[in-house]
Amino acid sequence: MAYSLDFGALAEYAPIFAKGVAVTSELTLVGGVLGVGLGILCAWVRTDGPKALRPIVSLYVEVIRNTPFLIQLFFIFFGLPSIGVSLTEMQAAILAMVVNLGAYAAEIIRAGIEATPRGQFEAGASLAMTRLQIFRNVVLVPALQRIWPALSSQIIIVMFGSAVCSQIAVEDITFAANFIQSRNFRAFEAYIVATVLYLILALILRQIMRSLGTIIFPRRRVVR
Amino acid sequence: MSLIAITEVRKRFGDNEVLKGINLDVAAGEVIAIIGKSGSGKSTLLRCINGLETIDEGTILVAGAQLAPDELHLRALRLKVGMIFQSFNLFPHLTAGRNVMLSPMVVKKVPAKEAQAEAQARLEQVGLGHKFDAYPDELSGGQQQRVAIARALAMKPLALLCDEITSALDPELVNEVLQVVGKLAAEGMTLLMVTHEMRFAREVCDRVVFMHQGRVHEIGPPEEVFGAPKTLELQQFLGIA
């Protein structure tokens, strides 16, 4: 079993990998920001928002968390056009990632909100703040701080999930690797490169989340 | 006319009636201590006054604002009474100054600059002008409680409710907080405080309310309540029976 690695054979495909890195980064960045935003909104509804919306949000969260991402993606890309909503591959991929991350992030953030000491709500209330004002100014930031590591991991998981988007011809890293190995049959090399690229992106993303954390949360967590 | 009018207030937690018809009128500028055993309903009474607990019967009026369970009424009421808690409840992600600035800016829409000047003044009032940029976890318990007082004062309340505000403090930190409260009392702030600091109650308060089993059991000026307790329960509570 002698297999000699030949990364030189990949050299001419470097631009395809470069494009793959750009696409995966874009998916993760846009999906991450919008997904966390959606997650905050859903977590608010489920904890403190209008009661009428709660069943709808619960249904959304449970459906997404209990079905495969690939099916969600296919549903959006192949299913929606039948009701007249046609999206490009990229739009469909981003929408699928936002919808997916939104549901998971909602549950993570909800855990952070529910761990808020009652005294924080009471302090806000006795200062005559409305429930929404208390949520925005008092509850939200410490809640995010509590679950920041879990949320960071979830965003990274979603970045890995983006590999699935190659199935609808989104030209991400996985797409690049598939494409190259189908041309030169250097599957081992192509997937080693893809693996390393994902690894590097994940490490960078983790670092970004950590730095972002120190900016948003200037104080270490105070346990009470 | 009294600033705070509590009439026939009853409060139940399930089958347990913790307030059994409370009547209490507090005049503007009056300083009142509420004492009693734990479970006598004193904290609950205080929490009812600014609507942190709902009441089952009776009425509570603060300067014309009536306690009602909807948010509009609650907020009108809470603009008139501030509350200070045993556990301080400062917002951990904000500096001392920001803690004080937050509510005026968010609730009263005071511009940032004005709110900052007001916060600085209130912090100086409690002796912490130099701690504007300190976070709560950088402050001692006594300092945190003084920031909490400054935070309540920044909303310019007509009365302050103090719920065992020195009970969570180390003994050596109690005095710095009591001094601030004493100063407020001297300046004419209306204060309603649940406290175990009997000496302070005796020195500073106009009237002392002794609560027992959900009722106002004895009420009067401190020299009467402490000097000549009429009921056996109060004598027992004070340890002189």
Separation CA B111–CA B118 (nearest Å): 11
Same domain, B95 and B169: no
Please give the residue range of the domain that contains residue A106: 13-216
User: Which of B105, B123, B156 finishes a domain?
Assistant: B156
Q: What is the pLDDT of residues A67-82, one digit of tens each?
A: 999 999 999 999 999 9
Residue B72 lies in a domain: yes
Cα end-to-end span (Å), chain B: 37
User: Chain A residues contacting B, CB < 8 Å?
Assistant: 117, 119-120, 122-123, 125-131, 133, 137-138, 141-142, 145, 217-220, 222, 224
Supply the CATH number for residue A42's domain: 1.10.3720.10
Q: What is the pLDDT of residues B212-232, one digit of tens each?
A: 999 999 999 999 999 999 999
Chain centroid to Cα B126, Å, comes to 16
User: Which of B103, B135, B156 finishes a domain?
Assistant: B156
Residue A5 lies in a domain: no
Please give the residue range of the domain that contains residue B202: 28-53+65-80+159-241
Q: Which two tokens stand for residue A123?
A: 């302090």
| A119/B137 touch (CB, cutoff 8 Å), yes or no | no
Q: Give the number of A-B residue pairs with CB atoms closer than 8 Å.
A: 71
User: Chain B residues contacting A, CB < 8 Å?
Assistant: 50-52, 71, 74-75, 78-79, 81-83, 85, 87, 89-93, 102-103, 106-107, 135-137, 148, 151-152, 155
Residue A209 lies in a domain: yes
The Cα of A122 is separated from the nearest Cα of chain B by a number of Å equal to 7
Task: State the number of CA atoms in the 13 A half-sphere of A38 facing the CB.
Answer: 20
Q: What is the pLDDT of residues A39-56, one digit of tens each?
A: 999 999 999 999 999 999
pLDDT tops 90 at residue A143: yes
Q: What is the pLDDT of residues B47-62, one digit of tens each?
A: 999 999 999 999 999 9
Same domain, B69 and B111: no
What confidence category does residue B239 fall into, taking pLDDT thresholds of 50, 70 and 90?
Answer: confident
The answer to whether B212 touches B233, Cβ cutoff 8 Å, is: yes
The answer to whether B201 touches B33, Cβ cutoff 8 Å, is: yes
Burial class (CB within 10 angstroms; exposed 0-12, middle 13-18, buried 19+) of A28: buried
Output the CA angle B52-B56-B57, nearest 5 degrees. 120
Which of the two residues, B73 and A135, has the higher pLDDT score? A135
Q: What domain count does chain B have?
A: 2
Q: What domain count does chain A have?
A: 1
Residue B85 lies in a domain: no
Closest in B75, B89, B152 to A130, CB measured: B75
Separation CA A66–CA B215 (nearest Å): 54
Mean pLDDT, range B36-49, rounded to an integer: 92
| A127/B152 touch (CB, cutoff 8 Å), yes or no | yes
**The predicted structure's pLDDT at residue A10:** 84
Cα dihedral sign, A98-A100-A101-A103: positive
Prediction ipTM score: 0.92
